[in-house]
Chains A and B, each alone.
Chain A
Amino acid sequence: MTAPHALTLAEAAALIAARRLSPVELLEDCLARIAAVEPRLNAVIALLAGPARAGAKAAETEIARAGPRSPMHGIPVGLKDIIDLEGVATTCHSKLQIDRIAPSDAAVTARLRALGAVFPAKLATHEFAIGGPAFDLPFPPARNPWNLAHHPGGSSSGSGAAIAARYFPAALGTDTGGSVRHPASHCGIVGLKPTYGLVSRRGVFPLAFTLDHVGPMTRTVRDNAMLLNAIAGHDPGDPGSAAAGAEDYTRLLHTGLKGLKIGFVRHFHETDQPAIPEVAAALEAAAKLMAAEGAIIQDITLPPLGEFSAVNRTILLPEATAIHEPWLRERPGDYAAVTRRRLLPGLFTTGTDYVQAQRRRRELVALVEAAFDGVDLLLTASSMEPACRIDDTVEVERTYPRQARTPFNVTGHPAISVMCGVQASTGLPIGLQLVAPGFAEARLFAAAAGYERAAPWGELTPGL
């Protein structure tokens, strides 16, 4: 029998509903797994064993009496440490926020709590979701469970590492330039950046207001859809929240790829940011498998990656430095060096440049929208190479921007990363990205699940 900590969310929820697994038993096995692996992985900023045990016990009692409130009842969920959990510090992995106790739950935390989830840990991040991996912070950087000498991607680094290492079945990350999908790709898990505004950002420390998204991180596509079911929905407390109502994102999972027309954006990884051969081959093999499953694959052209990236940075950095300006002026030495270097250009971006980028953004959105007139989904690379060594700062700086995730922070379209291969020399995962029109997450999950069922990658696990 599978150990409780290694169950998927769907498996654990089914066993809990059938009274064959107690939330206490599940949590205790997760805590034992964390105790065994964490000294090597550094995915956890704060272990919350006491409150989580109380939550699991309460869930056990309630479920024994009245059955589960939801599929999340009694499920341990990790939180990236820029997401507020009432009464617990939200450190942002930074000296600058190390003592700030959250006065209340973030909207996503409150939704999960109401559904009965428990919260065993706050998880490592790049400092303020931008600066990392870094070794000059109060907490060490998370490492990649597939190869501990390598980074796990970021900025939701702890969330990606913890899920891949089977600490618990579900975690939340945030994504402003690719920060859910980056660790998902490098850790061989599933990470979704939902449509902008579908999931509330209230109570999440902002990086850039018009680009920030909260997203689910899990081991399977079904689990990801279940977690999105739990956190999606309108929130009047988030000025960017969409009016669109939430739906059941699992409802199309069985339909798979048959008949879907998928535009393959090859130029992203062939000419804009040339991928290493193993990544290019993995993408071609994935496209071929999708076609074998009934999808219709056709090439499609979008504006070049570099332009999306420049627009993203010209918007992201001034929005970020509007938040960080006082600290950059008064306490610049309290940031990690990499965070300071990444943030400072925002103070030298002019107002005119910012507005020009927002004007160009509207045009880029229209061009991607036009592409969806002819196809149901887009297929692209995620990263152009697997994760490099975590201590190789030059290679980290070179490879982090070599990715195709940023365009969909600029446009707000939903995008998911799923595993599509392994690099032979390092044993590190390779990911692909599927993208859908706004609020078409159910279709996105259907295609990702169809690929997941047909591909062999779910059978692989990190050798921790």
Chain B
Amino acid sequence: MSDEAAIRAKAAGLDKAWAEHRSDVEEAIASAARIRTGFARPASPTAEPTPAYRAPAPKAPRA
């Protein structure tokens, strides 16, 4: 776990936090893994996320 955690911390740019607050980073990795199992994934492959992307509103023609 610690080698893997070190790699993940480095990949996240957390070298300094890994050096100074290692237990916080290890707990964060574990916490993120726990949270991701806490909700159901939509059954429909076409389910859209919220908020839906919207294109910018039309612009008035240039004078």
Contact = CB atoms under 8 A, between A and B. Distances in A.
Contact of B24 (A330, A340, A361): A340
Q: What band does the interface of chain B fall in when counting residues whose beta carbon is under 8 Å from A?
A: 20 to 34
Interface in B14-30: 14-17, 20-21, 24-25, 27-29
Interface string B30-41: 011101111111
A51 interface: no
Interface in A312-368: 313-314, 317, 325, 328-330, 332-333, 337, 340-341, 344-350, 353, 355-363, 365
B50 interface: yes
Interface in A290-330: 306-307, 309-311, 313-314, 317, 325, 328-330
Contact of B35 (A310, A332, A344): A310
A348 B50 contact: no
Nearest to A337: B24
A358 B49 contact: yes
A143 B24 CA distance: 27
A363 B14 contact: no
B24 A210 contact: no
A359 B42 contact: yes
Given A210-B50, A359-B48, A332 B38 contact: no
B14 A347 contact: yes
Most chain A CB within a 10 A radius of its CB, from B20, B29, B36: B36
Contacts of B25: 344
A411 to B, nearest CB: 9
Nearest to B15: A329
B41 A348 contact: no
Given A353-B36, A361-B50, A332 B12 contact: no
Contacts of B51: 210, 358
A363 B24 contact: no
Contact of B28 (A325, A330, A344, A357): A344
A307 B39 contact: yes
Size range of the interface on A? Answer: 35 or more
B13 interface: yes
B8 A348 contact: yes
A321 to B, nearest CB: 9
Given A310-B35, A329-B13, A360 B41 contact: yes
A252 B28 CA distance: 47
Nearest to B38: A310
Given A210-B50, A341-B28, A347-B12, A332 B17 contact: yes
A348 B39 CA distance: 17
Contact of A349 (B13, B32, B47): B32
Contacts of A353: 32, 35-36
B39 to A, nearest CB: 4
A306 B10 CA distance: 31
A307 B33 CA distance: 15
B38 A306 contact: yes
A345 B40 contact: no
Nearest to B13: A329
B31 A340 contact: no
B28 A347 contact: yes
Contacts of A346: 32
Given A337-B24, A349-B32, A362-B47, 10 more contacts: A310-B38, A310-B39, A314-B39, A325-B13, A341-B28, A347-B12, A347-B13, A360-B39, A362-B48, A363-B42
Interface of A: 210, 306-307, 309-311, 313-314, 317, 325, 328-330, 332-333, 337, 340-341, 344-350, 353, 355-363, 365
14 contacts: A306-B38, A307-B39, A313-B38, A314-B35, A317-B35, A329-B13, A344-B25, A344-B28, A347-B12, A349-B32, A356-B41, A360-B42, A363-B47, A365-B50
